[in-house]
Amino acid sequence: MQANAARRATQAAMSIASSLGLTAYDAAVLHDSNKLTLRLQPCDVLARVTPAAHQCAQLEVDTAKRLFEIGSPVAALEAPEVFVWDDYVVTLWTYYEPVTTQAIPPADYARALERLHAGMRRVDLPTPHFTDRVSAAQTLLANHDRTPKLADADRIFLADNLERLRRAVSDSGRPEQLLHGEPHPGNLLSTPIGLLFIDFETCCRGPIEFDLAHAPDEVGDLYPGVDHQLLRDCRALMLAMITTWRWDRDDQFPDGHSLGIEWLSELRKATAR
């Protein structure tokens, strides 16, 4: 977030926490991009703050609450509600002290994701389809005002691959279920009570390979029953989507423009095989 927006977002989180009787005198920034993640002190609560115009907080809270209730490996809510302050939406979560900064072993990662998927098969909530996310990327590509720095040749390349890969995944015939949407390493915490997934605002329906595309390659190798050709298509589709988002003029992902250039090159190599 821009500095002024981050200050207002922090004030929103602290004000909401105080209104609930939590003592919040300070806030440490844990992650700052299009949304802000804060550790509130001394109450030691994690707050996630998103501009009201760009959020799916209710879906995230509802999904996490249901999954936690059935024992899935998810972070707990501090308050099972979505709060609005000024132009910001705030959700409050349990803060977990990380037990290690080392990469999570692929076998442990695969088991945790398998447990999450098993729990998600028991949860019935209205959620978007993965193709809705692809459509959002396609709409962004078609809007030259939103992606002014993207060269025409790159725009055509991304558009062609988004459509081709969307069709390949949709036509695979694989079973579909509720998914995390982005279970990458940044959304899996190593805590004193085990591995826990966070950030459920990207939940969608689709084949499990769509989720596995966001995890390290070794995780897909260890996850049971994977269609590896579909996984390759999902990885390329995921790369095409995240590359497109980095060219959004409003994107605030750290080093987003540099990543957009780098990922375009990676996508060309992946689709040339």
Least confident of 11-25, 43-57, 60-74, 96-110: 43-57
Q: Which of 51-65, 154-168, 219-233, 253-267 shows the lowest mean pLDDT across its residues?
A: 51-65
Tens digits of residue pLDDT in 189-242: 999 999 999 999 999 999 999 999 999 999 999 999 999 999 999 999 999 999
* 10 pLDDT higher than 80: yes
The pTM of the full predicted model, rounded to 2 decimals, is 0.92
**What's the pLDDT at 54?**
62
pLDDT band at 55 (very low <50, low <70, confident <90, very high): low
Mean pLDDT of 67-77: 96
Average pLDDT over residues 252-264: 90
- What pLDDT is recorded for position 20? 94
Q: Which residue has the higher pLDDT, 67 or 1?
A: 67
Separation of first and last alpha carbons in the chain: 38
For residue 191, what are the β-bridge partners?
194
Percent of the chain with pLDDT strictly greater than 90 = 82
Quick one: average pLDDT of 14-40?
91
What distance separates the 2 farthest-apart alpha carbons in the chain? 57
Looking at per-residue pLDDT, the higher value among 273 and 193 belongs to 193
- The average pLDDT across 32-56 equals 88
> Contact 91/9 with Cβ under 8 angstroms?
no
Q: 209-222 b/e with 16+ CB inside 10 Å = b?
A: bbbbbbbeeebbeb
Question: Which pLDDT score is estimated for 215?
Answer: 97
What pLDDT shows up at residue 76?
A: 96
Q: Give the confidence band of 56 by pLDDT, cuts at 50, 70, 90.
A: confident
Say if residues 195 and 109 touch (Cβ distance below 8 Å): yes
Q: Note the pLDDT tens digit of each residue in 35-45.
A: 899 999 999 99
Q: How far is CA 152 from CA 92, 147, 148, 189, 202, in A?
A: 42, 10, 10, 39, 29
In this predicted structure, the answer to whether residue 29 has a pLDDT above a threshold of 80 is: yes
Predicted confidence (pLDDT) at residue 2 exceeds the cutoff of 90: no
Instruction: Report the chain's C-alpha Rg in angstroms.
Output: 19
Crossing angle between the packed helical segments 130-142 and 152-170, to the nearest 10 degrees: 160
Provide the pLDDT for residue 130. Answer: 97
At 129-140, the pLDDT tens digits run 999 999 999 999
